[in-house]
C-alpha cells in the first residue's frame, strides 16, 4: 500500500457520460498530480494541485476538470466521454520534488 | 514523454545484469527518477538521482548519469524473475512543475 488511495479501481461507462475519479493523497502530502496512461500516449501529465489551488496544467482536455478539497483529497471529473478517453488514470502525491511522487494504483476507465 | 526517450523492450536471463537506458533533452533537469510498474499496479519509485551526481547505488540498483550526453541508465544486478516489469525514467525541472515520463522499457527476465 503506497498510501495514495484511488477509487474506484474500475469504471465502465458509455460515451457521452460523466464520471468522477477520487484520490486521497499520502498523509502529509500537499501536492496531488493526475496522470493519464494509455497505450499510444504513455503517461501524460494532466494537472497538479497544491494545498487546494491549481498549480500546473498539462495536456488536460477542456472536458476534464479537477479540484482539491480542504481535506486535500482530489477529484478528477471527466465529461462528454469518448471512446478515446479509455485509459488508466493515476493520482500521485508528493511533499517535495526531490522525493519523487507516490502513485496510487489507478482507476481503469473503459468507455463503451 | 516526448522529451524523455527509452527503448521499448529488454530481455535478459535470470542472474544476469540488466541495463535500461534513457535519454532526456532538458539540461535544466534537477532530478531524474526510475519507476517500476508491475502489471495492474501503479508506479513504484525505485530510486532517483540529483543532477549534480554521477552515480548512485542502492543495493542491486545502480544509476549512472551522464549530463553531457543527457543519458541516464539503471543497472539491475543479479536480475530476478520478480524484476520483470515496465521501467520508466522521469525528469523533473522546476520550470515544468511536474514529472515528465519516458514511454517505459518492458523488462522480461527469462528463467
- Residue B109: its H or E element: strand B105-110
Banded model confidence at residue A97, pLDDT cuts 50, 70, 90: low
Question: What is the CA angle A82-A84-A90, rounded to 5?
Answer: 105
CA distance B33 to B46: 8
Give how far A42 is from chain B: nearest CA, Å: 5
pLDDT at B108: 97
Tell me how many residue pairs between chain A and chain B have CB atoms under 8 A apart.
57
Do residue B48 and residue A43 have CB atoms under 8 angstroms apart? no
Q: Which of A4, A42, A48 sits opposite B97 (nearest CB)?
A: A48
Check: CB of residue B72 under 8 Å from CB of residue B65: yes
Residue A90 near chain B (CB below 8 Å): yes
The three-state secondary structure class of B81 is: helix
Contact A42 B33 (CB under 8 A): no
Q: How far is CA A28 from the centre of its chain?
A: 18
DSSP E strands: which ranges in chain A?
5-7, 10-13, 19-24, 31-38, 42-50, 53-57, 64-68, 74-78, 87-94, 102-103, 107-111
> Which phi and psi angles does A84 have, rounded to 5°?
-70, -10
pLDDT of A2 over the 60 cut: yes
For A16-75, the pLDDT digits (tens) are: 999 999 999 999 999 999 999 998 778 999 999 999 999 999 989 999 999 999 999 999
What's the pLDDT band for B1 if we cut at 50, 70, 90? very low
Least CB-CB distance to B98: which of A4, A42, A58?
A58
DSSP-assigned letter for residue A83: G
Residues 23-52 in A contacting B (C-alpha not used; CB under 8 Å): 33, 35, 42-43, 45, 48
Asked whether the beta carbons of residue B94 and residue A48 sit closer than 8 angstroms, the reply is: no
Q: What is the pLDDT of residues B39-95, one digit of tens each?
A: 888 999 999 999 888 999 999 999 999 999 999 999 999 999 999 999 999 998 777
Amino acid at each position: 500500500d503506497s498510501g495514495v488511495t484511488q477509487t474506484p479501481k474500475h469504471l465502465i461507462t458509455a460515451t457521452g457520460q460523466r464520471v468522477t475519479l477520487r484520490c486521497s493523497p499520502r498523509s502529509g502530502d500537499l501536492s496531488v498530480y493526475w496522470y493519464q496512461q494509455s497505450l499510444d500516449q504513455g503517461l501524460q501529465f494532466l494537472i497538479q494541485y497544491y494545498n487546494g489551488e491549481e498549480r500546473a496544467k498539462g495536456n488536460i482536455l477542456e472536458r476534464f476538470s479537477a479540484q482539491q478539497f480542504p481535506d486535500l483529497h482530489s477529484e478528477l471529473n471527466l465529461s462528454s466521454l469518448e471512446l478515446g478517453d479509455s485509459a488508466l488514470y493515476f493520482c500521485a502525491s508528493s511533499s517535495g520534488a526531490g522525493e519523487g511522487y507516490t502513485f496510487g494504483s489507478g482507476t481503469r476507465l473503459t468507455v463503451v | 514523454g516526448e522529451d524523455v526517450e527509452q527503448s521499448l523492450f529488454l530481455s535478459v536471463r535470470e542472474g544476469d545484469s540488466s541495463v535500461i537506458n534513457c535519454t532526456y533533452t532538458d539540461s535544466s533537469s534537477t532530478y531524474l527518477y526510475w519507476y517500476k510498474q508491475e502489471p495492474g499496479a501503479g508506479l513504484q519509485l525505485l530510486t532517483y538521482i540529483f543532477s549534480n551526481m554521477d552515480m548512485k547505488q542502492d543495493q542491486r540498483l545502480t544509476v549512472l548519469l551522464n549530463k553531457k550526453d543527457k543519458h541516464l541508465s539503471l543497472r539491475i544486478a543479479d536480475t530476478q524473475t520478480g524484476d520483470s516489469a515496465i521501467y520508466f525514467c522521469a525528469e523533473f525541472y522546476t520550470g515544468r512543475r511536474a514529472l515528465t515520463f519516458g514511454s517505459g522499457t518492458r523488462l522480461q527476465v527469462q528463467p
